[in-house]
A and B are shown apart, each in its own frame.
Chain A
Amino acid sequence: MIEAVAIQNPKSKIDMHEVSVMQSALEIALEHMRRQNAARIHRIHMRVGALSSVVPEALEFAFDVVTHGTPAEGATLEIERVPAVCRCPACQIEFEPDGYFYECPQCGSLNVEIRRGRELELAFLEVS
């Protein structure tokens, strides 16, 4: 049984998921704008973690593409980069990992929790 499901990506012709991430961010922003009975978005502030698999520069590029012709056209995009932060449960310390391996700088354990860095959030907007 092979079923072809017609689920196409309507969002873009660009093979980069930042476009679809930015599209989702814009949808959330527009919804909040409407809730405030506002008509324009002037500023969008996002938090992008080091472990979010999203490239901020690609987001900026995608922003211009997806906001074109929308109430957010011409708005300022602010991207706040959030570094990875780990916690070693044994030593009870938090640290920013250095490099690929997330090793506790005190005991060398790899058994650490990732506390920050996965963020991909719309923090706030400025509307009128």
Chain B
Amino acid sequence: MKEAATETESRQVVEVNEGILSKNDVFAARNRSLFNATGLLVLNVLSSPGSGKTAFIERTLTDLRGRLRGAVIVGDLATDNDAKRIARSGAPAVQITTGDMCHLEAEMVGKAAGQLNLDDLDVLIIENVGNLVCPSGYDLGENLRVVLLAATEGEDKPLKYPVMFKTADVVIVNKMDIAEAAGFDRATALDNIRRIAPQAVIFEVSARTGQGMQQWYDWLEQRRAQM
């Protein structure tokens, strides 16, 4: 008993007050200063699996060829299918095999960026792991967070993932070409997005048909010019 009392007495409280993701934040700040030094515009693209992130990025880079020099860092669980698809656009693609990880971290992105010649680029697109929860707290050093949802996912998607949508700079509503067939309530969806993420710019597009993509390109070019 005496021993236990001594042990209790020797216990001390240590104030820490440290952010648990502070290590990631340090790597993110390092990435950001590296990116900013070359005037690169960096996008962190987030969505659920199957919303069309890869198609959206592929189309963007293909259509902007000759206007913006782009590259992609793609996080994929196991395969390199996404990187192969993106490589078809002619843009350099670096794949991060995340294994069973549900989000990208800044350190991984920094390593992957080291494989690209950043001086030769205008835009770097980071395709995060398909997940609208886990990646939200991990800053990668991006300038813009692009959150994508497909019209087929329903108008209440932003209500299911409010935390992620609240961090968005841009919200892309994809698959608008089949929105009507999917029974997508466009007005409610836009209202939900605007009220959850009043800070975000919204684009309604179809990466498949190209509908609405031009406005996105114009906006992106404008943002790049401001860098």
When the two chains form their complex, are residues B20 and A121 in contact, meaning their CB atoms are under 8 A apart? yes
Interface size on B, residues (CB 8 A): 50
Contacts of B21 in A (CB 8 A): 21, 24, 120
Does B13 make an interface contact (CB < 8 A)?
A: yes
When the two chains form their complex, are residues A2 and B93 in contact, meaning their CB atoms are under 8 A apart? yes
Instruction: Contacts A29-B16, A38-B12, A121-B19 given; indicate if A2 touches B100 (C-beta within 8 A).
Output: no
When the two chains form their complex, are residues A120 and B137 in contact, meaning their CB atoms are under 8 A apart? yes
Does B226 make an interface contact (CB < 8 A)?
A: no
Does B96 make an interface contact (CB < 8 A)?
A: yes
Contacts of B194 in A (CB 8 A): 110
When the two chains form their complex, are residues A127 and B20 in contact, meaning their CB atoms are under 8 A apart? no
When the two chains form their complex, are residues B13 and A5 in contact, meaning their CB atoms are under 8 A apart? no
Does B99 make an interface contact (CB < 8 A)?
A: yes
Contacts of B84 in A (CB 8 A): 2
Smallest CB gap from B94: residue in A: A3
Which 6 A-B residue pairs are closest in the complex by CB-CB distance? A9-B101, A17-B134, A110-B198, A101-B195, A53-B136, A128-B11
Does A15 make an interface contact (CB < 8 A)?
A: yes
Interface residues of A (CB under 8 A from B): 1-9, 11-17, 20-21, 24-25, 27-29, 32-33, 36, 38, 42, 46, 51-54, 100-103, 110-111, 114, 118, 120-128
Instruction: Contacts A1-B87, A5-B94, A53-B164 given; indicate if A126 touches B16 (C-beta within 8 A).
Output: no
When the two chains form their complex, are residues B103 and A7 in contact, meaning their CB atoms are under 8 A apart? no
When the two chains form their complex, are residues A20 and B101 in contact, meaning their CB atoms are under 8 A apart? yes
Instruction: Identify B16's interface contact among A3, A21, A101, A125, CB under 8 A.
Output: A125
How far apart sit A11 and B102, CA to CA, in the bound complex (Å)?
A: 12
Instruction: Identify B159's interface contact among A7, A100, A125, A127, CB under 8 A.
Output: A100
Sampled A-B contacts (29; CB under 8 Å): A2-B80, A2-B83, A3-B115, A4-B83, A4-B95, A5-B94, A5-B95, A5-B96, A5-B108, A8-B97, A9-B100, A14-B100, A15-B100, A17-B101, A28-B16, A46-B20, A53-B137, A100-B158, A100-B195, A100-B196, A110-B194, A111-B198, A120-B20, A121-B19, A121-B20, A122-B16, A123-B17, A124-B13, A128-B7
